[in-house]
């Protein structure tokens, strides 16, 4: 199927799914609605998160018909497609594998549907990338033991004989004799294959042996951590709770390891691959979305899972996860002023502490957010050095009755505010949603960049300082 | 996020045996709308080895002192998961709270397992046979009702529902149905969730006779890797906490698994 037909298929699918959503609303319990709504709010209006993660993962609850459509995508083959400096996707629009190349050989994430695909797709792809005695297949990491992920493993075992890693919960009766990763040890388990260290984390739920992994890849001259998540559908009562717990642990790992993007074997859940198919690989890669956005996507997924659990179990009492965003407001961080705003899909996060730290120097100051979610303070370490001091504003997160406010942070070089002043002048009249609108420049958060924002920032800058 | 972890390993991953390494952790017991006294704090001490999983439910008082009030032990015998649940809370008040916590925990466990629920010091007598998941839940619910009556304690009454087989009227093996009733009266307009491992599901709404019917759809669609395997079909009643009496959630094995 060519690209225009694929686009048409997706558009048609979207129309069908919207119809489902239209019919599905109001049939859920208040608790389920609460989590579905939270998933939407956690996108903060980001179209990628809304149209992919929110759409599909919450679709298991509010639009189950989507599964019939995406399953048909198994016949739409995706050729070998580079997604980062050393990483490729191969398979179909429905499910695929990732190929990682290093100076010493290859690592595969998943093995496609069956022997025929491993023989006719994987092996030629590896050969085209240089598979040889000196550049061998050094290992295969399987996200879980379902056939659309491990169907080609036995062929790979018979032809190239790499070590094949699988969670022990799925490993019984597998002809390819996998190396078992202990599924009962829920702590992260690093394994090194061909010099590349994958941080595996058992995530039981979709299957007992499902494993996620943080994988370092090369992109735009630097190493970036991407997260491979395994299963997607959530099953029944006995599996959705482990699934939810696994997702929460995955969130913690992704935060701790500064994961900047995802590589789901069912790529449509993230929707990143389509961007590369549409317009080519960018620099940096479209897969590198940044930790802030990736974490928000996981929070969306978590809320979709909580909605699914609440739908299946009316007695579920799961707190709502609210993903926050922290941003420096205009003319900050400046030599004499540190100011950041914390907000989420529900509005400003008020009454919470924000700490400002200077790289290599320590905490400059801590302040509490006001009713607008803005925390402001002056550095106790003396005036910041413009373009030298790297400042991080951190909201650590908080818990309330029935909800968890997830932490967030932002990092920027100290500046004198003149660039922001110029940006406000250039964006005068821009409204939320316009391309030249930036939330951080909208000091009073009235949805438009106007004279009041200009006056506010002007007051914060030394008179005559900016030419 | 650790504080939001709940009993996980013993709930549904009963068969995930591994390398004999023992893993242990203490987590907060999961919350539920069935809990009548949420101010009473409970934690779970979970231990897992190759052959069995043990979860001890402990009450934690305001001074941090922990007292064991129940034990859940999961093991595998002859290919079938077996779960022994024992409640041994000392006071009537604590007994009610413990049983509510146990209901929440057992609800999340493998519905295909065989269960044994006892109270007090007595252990399980396997020779008497094992209960189904729904029977075990019913026993816990009834034990709570009895404790409520004995203690003359305030608290919402629970009435367990029943699900039973009903002819689908279809030759299609993927068409599934159950009849839902409470105290012999059909429950209409209730959604029943049907699930078949690894990833087939559908939802049916009960009619005036309490019958819910739908056709299982494979949500995943991998290439027939499970052909020849007979997997259990589980029906889930999600519960109704607004009803009086409360109708707690439960499951029912519509079709048993096997090879």
Which residues neighbour A270 within 8 Å (Cβ) at sequence distance 6 or greater?
A52, A53, A262, A263, A264, A297
Least confident of A232-241, B211-220, B226-235: B226-235
Closest-CA residue of A relative to B227 is A147
**How many contacts (CB atoms, under 8 Å) link A and B?**
166
Please compute the mean of the pLDDT values over residues B229-253 and round it to a whole number: 93
Contact A236 B236 (CB under 8 A): yes
The per-residue pLDDT for B8 is 39
Calpha distance B181→B160 (Å, rounded): 9
The per-residue pLDDT for A404 is 98
The per-residue pLDDT for B6 is 39
Phi, psi of A244 (to 5 degrees): -65, -45
Taking the Cβ of residue B249 and every Cβ of chain A, the question of whether any pair is shorter than 8 Å is answered with yes
- Inform me whether the pLDDT recorded for B11 exceeds 60: no
Buried b (16+ CB within 10 A) or exposed e, A42-54: bbbebebbbebbb
Q: B226-230: which pairs have CB atoms within 8 A and are 24 or more residues apart?
A: B226/A147, B226/B198, B228/B259, B229/B257, B229/B259, B230/B255, B230/B256, B230/B257, B230/B258, B230/B259
The nearest CA of chain B is from the CA of A147 a distance in Å of 6
- Inform me whether the pLDDT recorded for B16 exceeds 80: no
The per-residue pLDDT for A317 is 95
The nearest CA of chain B is from the CA of A40 a distance in Å of 21
Annotated domain spans of chain A: 3-317, 323-460
Calpha distance A150→A109 (Å, rounded): 10
Residue from A356, A246, A342, A354 nearest A298 by CA = A246
The per-residue pLDDT for A388 is 78
| Confidence bin at B229 (pLDDT 50/70/90) | low
In A, which residues are within 8 Å of B251 by CB distance? 236-237
Annotated domain spans of chain B: 2-151, 162-255
Contact B219 A233 (CB under 8 A): yes
Contact B17 A312 (CB under 8 A): no
Residue whose entry in the numeric block shows the structure tokens 């290919």: B79
Please compute the mean of the pLDDT values over residues B84-96 and round it to a whole number: 89
Using CB atoms, pick whichever of B217, B224, B236 lies closest to residue A312: B236
In A, which residues are within 8 Å of B239 by CB distance? 313-315
Calpha distance B81→B160 (Å, rounded): 24
For residues B184 and B6, the model is more confident at B184
Pick among 3.30.565.10, 3.60.15.10, 3.40.50.300, 3.40.50.970: CATH of A3-317: 3.60.15.10
Q: Are the CB atoms for B34 and B241 separated by under 8 Å?
A: yes
The per-residue pLDDT for B168 is 87
Interface test with A, best of B32, B103, B220 (most A CBs within 10 A): B220
Calpha distance A169→B16 (Å, rounded): 4
Residue from B207, B204, B218 nearest B254 by CA = B204
Per DSSP bridges, beta strands B250-255 and A324-328 are: unpaired
Taking the Cβ of residue A242 and every Cβ of chain B, the question of whether any pair is shorter than 8 Å is answered with yes
Using CB atoms, pick whichever of A149, A169, A238 lies closest to residue B111: A238
Taking the Cβ of residue A265 and every Cβ of chain B, the question of whether any pair is shorter than 8 Å is answered with no
- Inform me whether the pLDDT recorded for B165 exceeds 50: yes
The per-residue pLDDT for B221 is 60
Pick among 3.40.980.10, 2.60.40.10, 3.40.1010.10, 2.30.40.10: CATH of A323-460: 2.60.40.10
Closest-CA residue of B relative to A71 is B221
| Confidence bin at B10 (pLDDT 50/70/90) | very low
Interface test with B, best of A111, A149, A184, A231 (most B CBs within 10 A): A184
Calpha distance A102→A223 (Å, rounded): 12
The pTM is what? 0.90
Which 119-158 residues of chain A touch chain B by CB within 8 A?
146-149, 151
| Confidence bin at B186 (pLDDT 50/70/90) | very high
Please compute the mean of the pLDDT values over residues B90-108 and round it to a whole number: 93
Please compute the mean of the pLDDT values over residues B124-134 and round it to a whole number: 82
Calpha distance B199→B185 (Å, rounded): 32
| Confidence bin at B205 (pLDDT 50/70/90) | very high
Considering Cα of A203, then A205, then A208, then A209, what sign does the dihedral take?
A: negative
For residues B132 and B153, the model is more confident at B132
Residue from A5, A82, A43, A119 nearest A345 by CA = A43
Calpha distance A93→A75 (Å, rounded): 8
* B155 DSSP 8-state letter: -
Using CB atoms, pick whichever of B13, B203, B220 lies closest to residue A204: B13
Least confident of A418-432, B124-138, B187-201: B124-138
A323-460 has the same fold as A3-317: no
In B, which residues are within 8 Å of A68 by CB distance? 217
The per-residue pLDDT for B127 is 66
- Inform me whether the pLDDT recorded for B249 exceeds 80: yes
Which parts of A156-195 are beta strand (E)? 164-167, 179-181, 189-193
The per-residue pLDDT for A463 is 73
Using CB atoms, pick whichever of B31, B224, B251 lies closest to residue A237: B251
Write the DSSP string, A4-55: HHHHHHHHHHHHHHHHHHHHHTT-S-HHHHHHHHHHHHHTTT-HHIIIIIIH
Taking the Cβ of residue B104 and every Cβ of chain A, the question of whether any pair is shorter than 8 Å is answered with yes
One digit per residue, the tens of pLDDT, for chain A of length 467 reads 344 434 333 333 444 343 333 343 448 999 999 999 999 999 999 999 999 999 999 999 999 889 889 988 999 999 999 999 999 999 999 999 999 999 999 999 999 999 999 999 999 999 999 999 999 999 999 999 999 999 999 999 999 999 999 999 999 999 999 999 999 889 999 999 989 999 999 999 999 999 999 999 999 999 999 999 978 888 899 999 999 999 999 999 999 999 999 999 999 999 999 999 999 999 999 999 999 999 999 999 999 999 999 999 999 999 999 999 999 999 899 888 899 999 999 999 999 999 999 999 999 999 999 999 999 999 999 888 767 789 999 999 999 999 999 999 999 998 878 888 999 999 999 998 898 999 889 988 899 999 999 998 888 777 777 76
The nearest CA of chain B is from the CA of A233 a distance in Å of 7
Which residues neighbour A355 within 8 Å (Cβ) at sequence distance 6 or greater?
A363, A365, A366, A393, A394, A396
Q: Starting at the edge strand that comes first in sequence, how are the strands of the sheet with A261-262 ordered? A: A189-193, A196-202, A211-219, A222-228, A261-262
Cis previous bond, B245, omega within 30: yes
The per-residue pLDDT for A467 is 66
Phi, psi of A329 (to 5 degrees): -85, 170
Taking the Cβ of residue B159 and every Cβ of chain A, the question of whether any pair is shorter than 8 Å is answered with no
Contact B16 A317 (CB under 8 A): no
Q: Are the CB atoms for A409 and A326 separated by under 8 Å?
A: yes
Contact A64 B220 (CB under 8 A): no
Calpha distance A461→B253 (Å, rounded): 70
Pick among 2.30.30, 2.40.128, 3.40.1350, 2.60.40: CATH of B162-255: 2.60.40
């Amino acid at each position: 199927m060519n690209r225009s037909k694929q686009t048409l298929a997706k558009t048609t699918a979207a129309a069908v799914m919207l119809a489902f959503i239209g019919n599905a609303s109001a049939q859920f319990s208040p608790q389920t609605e609460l989590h579905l709504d939270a998933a939407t709010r956690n996108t903060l209006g980001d179209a990628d998160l809304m149209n992919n993660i929110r759409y599909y993962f919450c679709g298991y609850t509010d639009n189950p018909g989507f599964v019939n459509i995406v399953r048909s995508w198994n016949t739409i083959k995706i050729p070998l497609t580079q997604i980062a400096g050393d990483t490729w996707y191969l398979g179909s629009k429905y499910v695929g594998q990732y190929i990682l190349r290093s100076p010493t050989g290859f690592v595969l994430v998943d093995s496609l549907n069956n022997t025929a695909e491993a023989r006719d797709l994987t092996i030629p792809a590896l050969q085209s990338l240089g598979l040889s005695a000196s550049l061998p297949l050094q290992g295969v990491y399987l996200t879980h033991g379902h056939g659309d992920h491990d169907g080609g493993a036995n062929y790979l075992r018979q032809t190239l004989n790499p070590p094949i890693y699988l969670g022990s919960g799925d490993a019984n009766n597998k002809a390819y004799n996998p190396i078992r990763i202990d599924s009962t040890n829920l702590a992260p388990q690093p394994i090194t294959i061909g010099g590349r260290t994958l941080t595996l984390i058992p995530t039981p739920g979709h299957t007992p042996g499902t494993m996620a992994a943080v994988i370092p890849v090369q992109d735009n001259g630097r190493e970036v951590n991407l997260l491979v998540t395994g299963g997607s559908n959530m099953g029944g009562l006995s599996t959705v709770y482990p699934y939810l717990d696994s997702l929460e642990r995955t969130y913690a790992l992704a935060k701790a390891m500064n994961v900047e993007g995802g590589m789901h074997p069912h790529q449509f859940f993230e929707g990143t691959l389509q961007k590369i198919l549409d317009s080519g690989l960018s620099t940096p890669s479209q897969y590198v979305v940044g930790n802030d956005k990736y974490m928000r996507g996981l929070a969306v997924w978590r809320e979709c899972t909580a909605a699914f659990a609440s739908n299946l179990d009316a007695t579920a009492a799961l707190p709502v996860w609210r993903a926050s965003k922290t941003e420096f407001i205009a003319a900050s961080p400046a030599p004499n002023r540190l100011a950041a705003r914390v907000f989420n899909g529900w509005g400003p996060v008020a009454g919470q502490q924000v700490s400002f730290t200077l790289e290599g120097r320590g905490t400059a100051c801590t302040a509490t957010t006001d009713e607008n979610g803005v925390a402001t303070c002056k550095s106790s370490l003396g005036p910041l050095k413009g373009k030298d001091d790297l400042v991080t504003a951190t909201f650590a997160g908080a818990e309330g009755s029935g909800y968890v406010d997830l932490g967030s942070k932002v990092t920027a070089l100290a500046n004198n505010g003149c660039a922001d002043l110029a940006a406000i002048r250039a964006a005068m009249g821009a409204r939320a949603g316009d391309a030249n609108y930036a939330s951080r420049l909208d000091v009073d958060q009235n949805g438009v960049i106007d004279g009041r924002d200009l006056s506010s920032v002007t007051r914060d800058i030394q008179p005559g300082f900016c030419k | 996020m650790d504080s939001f972890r709940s009993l996980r390993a013993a709930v549904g991953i009963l068969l995930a045996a591994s390398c004999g390494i023992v893993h242990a952790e203490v987590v907060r017991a999961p919350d539920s709308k069935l809990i009548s006294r949420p101010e009473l704090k409970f934690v779970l001490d979970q231990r897992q080895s190759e052959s069995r999983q043990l979860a001890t439910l402990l009450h934690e008082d305001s001074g941090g002192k922990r007292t064991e009030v129940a034990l859940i032990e999961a093991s595998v015998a002859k290919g079938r998961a077996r779960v022994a649940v024992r409640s041994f809370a000392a006071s009537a008040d604590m007994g009610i709270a413990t049983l509510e916590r146990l209901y929440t925990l057992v609800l999340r466990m493998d519905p295909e397992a065989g269960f044994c629920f006892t109270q007090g010091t007595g252990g399980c007598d396997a020779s008497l046979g094992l209960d189904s998941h729904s029977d075990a839940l019913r026993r816990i619910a009834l034990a709570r009702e009895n404790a409520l009556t004995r203690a003359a304690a305030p608290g919402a009454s629970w009435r367990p529902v029943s699900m039973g087989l009903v002819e689908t009227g279809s030759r299609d093996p993927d068409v599934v149905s159950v009849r839902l009733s409470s105290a012999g009266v059909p429950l209409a307009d209730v959604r029943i969730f049907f699930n078949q491992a690894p990833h087939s599901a559908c939802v049916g709404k009960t009619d005036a006779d309490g019958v819910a019917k739908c056709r299982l759809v494979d949500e995943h669609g991998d290439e027939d890797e499970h052909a020849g395997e007979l997997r259990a079909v589980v029906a889930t009643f999600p519960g109704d906490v607004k009803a009086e009496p409360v109708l707690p959630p439960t499951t029912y094995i519509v079709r048993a698994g096997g090879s």
